[in-house]
Structure 1
Amino acid sequence: MAVTDPVDARLLAALAELGKAAVHELAAKVGMDPREVAYRLVALSGSGLPLLVGVESDPNGLRAALATARPAPPPPYPAQGMPSGAYTVPSAAYNVPSGRYPVQPPPPAPGRFAAAAPRPAVDPVISTWGPPQTASWARGDQRQAPSPVQRTGRIGDALAAQGLEGEQLTIQLLEVQDPADFLFGAAGYRLDAGERAVVVHTEITNRGTVPFVSLPDNYLELVTAEGTTIAKAPVSLTSRPPHKIGVQPGETAGGHTVYVLPEATRVTTLRWSPRPEPDERTLSWSLET
């Protein structure tokens, strides 16, 4: 079977290279949310691939956790509905033999996500960035933050967003460098003939009380004039640090996302979503002047 899901193909290639890795290490290598990596690995293992998904633990630590989480002794009279304790398990390890294995991608995870009521937006952090060179860029004090209901903007705009767990976020598109071939080459990478690199600089602010535990640019995609999407490349540039996983309440974090695409492709939009498929929480910025 041919690999039709590029995310699964990238994940399998990284696993084949590592052979054995913990889920959080593999997620960091491919730039994905550890929860999504675990889901995809379990689904791929069930499809018949030579892929073993396992869990490693500290037996003594688990026994101690079970002891502290054990419910209180029952009262002298009969009682019903005694709740069980909650237990934590260390991260899983995954063992994959080397090689390439074709796989049919798993179906998308079912579920419905309801958007919470919007909250008043706060002003974005005002900062100044370096010389724009060939990039389109904007300073934080040149534009005012839009209202929370706004889902579209342009370079420099900060848009209100909501995560899968109800996180209240503000995402600002600061800079788009297109092309960014010189940055790509300076980091030691090589573009094939007919390719170009694009670097996008975004900033995310957690305005709520719920921690945002995903990678901010996990589903940050370029949209072409033909309506096709371009996912981020699994590379990071030394001069443009990438996003890190997690944004705590009250924290603002920035990062750069790299894309590799055909040289003649016309990009019109940058799109952010908290999940693989666009929904009512999806944000978009127009990149056309």
Structure 2
Amino acid sequence: MAVTDPVDARLLAVLAELGKAAVHEIAAKVGMDPREVAYRLVNLSATGLPLLVGVESDPNGLRTALAGGWAQQAPPHPAHGTPSGAYPVHGTPSGAFPVHGTPSGTYPAQGAPSGAYPVHGTPSGRYQPPAQQHRPPPPRRQPPPPPDPVMSTWGPPQSALWARGDQPPATAPPAPRTGRTGEVLETHGLEGEQLAIQLLEVQDPADYLFSAAGYRLEEDERAVVVHTEITNRSGVPFASLPDNYLELLTVDGKPVGKAPVSLTSRPPHKIGVRPGETTGGHTVYVLPAAMRIASVRWSPRPEPDERSLVWTIDD
């Protein structure tokens, strides 16, 4: 299958280079949140790609944690015979591979008895239910009183509905905060961080910067570089990559994700912004040469919401 998402392509390229690695190692190489890396890899493995996503654990430590004794026991140790780092599955090559040898039917777990067995503590004789006791019938529920026509029309006294009870309150979500290139827009992160983000510059096209960094564009492609700056005005650290969900928007509203490349002459963003810190970086995009870009959008998560920011690009 063809991988069209640039972030997925970047993850697969790093994984193809490493062969096998832990999720946090891949996340460190691509500068992403390990939770999002794991989410994307699991989704990619479900599409039929030769990719196997696994986990490693200390079975004894997990059983102790489930029993409520994790806080009192010593630090977890690897199980006997299990390596402490990332490891290959026995009998499989180290590169991309399909999974072989998986049985087609269901099979019992090791140690489970093959036949039916009695539950401990259950009497072997015939069970006699206790004698039924006569209970009084539950009281009948009284129907609710009819609504007050004045309250249903005008609402509670001295409320907003008292002035205009004939119209329902507005429930539409607030529109994203908008501005133009060069302006600072304020928003909040997923953990309540107070953020101020400025769109400093949009270089379109930026083919010469792309070529100077050693990359090559196709004949029908062009490169765009976006320079942004973020300030954390709260006491809560911003732990994500500042441009993780910085997108270009076409004239018809379609988003364009960033390319998994960085330029030596235009340094990229680094993960995390400490309280009171201001940091900047550059984000690279590769798109069709004829595609027109109308704006830039920043969001704290993959799906845009009321915390998203949108800057209109000057023609």
With the shorter chain as reference, the TM-score category is 0.5 to 0.7
1:23 is the counterpart of 2:23: yes
C-alpha separation in 2, matches of 1:254 and 1:11: 24
Q: Which has the larger radius of gyration?
A: 2
Structure 1 equivalent of residue 210 of structure 2: 184
Distance 1:243 1:94, change over 3 A: farther
CA-to-partner distance for each residue in 1:155-185, whole Å, 9 max, x for gaps?
A: 1111112111111111111111111111111
The answer to whether the 8 Å contact 1:16/1:97 transfers is no
Distance 1:42 1:28, change over 3 A: same
TM-score (norm 2): 0.61
Match of 1:218 among 239, 244, 252: 244
1:12 is the counterpart of 2:12: yes
The answer to whether the 8 Å contact 1:210/1:248 transfers is yes
Match of 2:303 among 253, 263, 277: 277
TM-score (norm 1): 0.66
Distance 1:264 1:158, change over 3 A: same
Match of 2:273 among 247, 263, 272: 247
**How many angstroms does 1:39 deviate by?**
2.6
Distance 1:193 1:282, change over 3 A: same
Structure 2 equivalent of residue 98 of structure 1: 95
Q: Counterpart amino acid of 2:95?
A: S
Structure 1 equivalent of residue 32 of structure 2: 32
Q: Counterpart amino acid of 1:21?
A: A
The answer to whether the 8 Å contact 1:56/1:93 transfers is no
Distance 1:212 1:100, change over 3 A: farther
Q: Counterpart amino acid of 1:26?
A: I
Distance 1:4 1:231, change over 3 A: closer
Q: Number of residue pairs matched? A: 222
Distance 1:277 1:97, change over 3 A: farther
Query: Secondary structure of 1:205's match?
Result: strand
1:51 is the counterpart of 2:52: yes
**How many angstroms does 1:42 deviate by?**
4.1
Q: Counterpart amino acid of 2:295?
A: T
Which is richer in strand?
Answer: 1
Query: Secondary structure of 2:234's match?
Result: coil
C-alpha separation in 2, matches of 1:260 and 1:270: 14
C-alpha separation in 1, matches of 2:85 and 2:234: 30
Unpaired runs of 5+ residues, structure 2, are 79-83, 99-174
Query: Secondary structure of 2:54's match?
Result: strand
Unpaired runs of 5+ residues, structure 1, are 72-84, 102-148
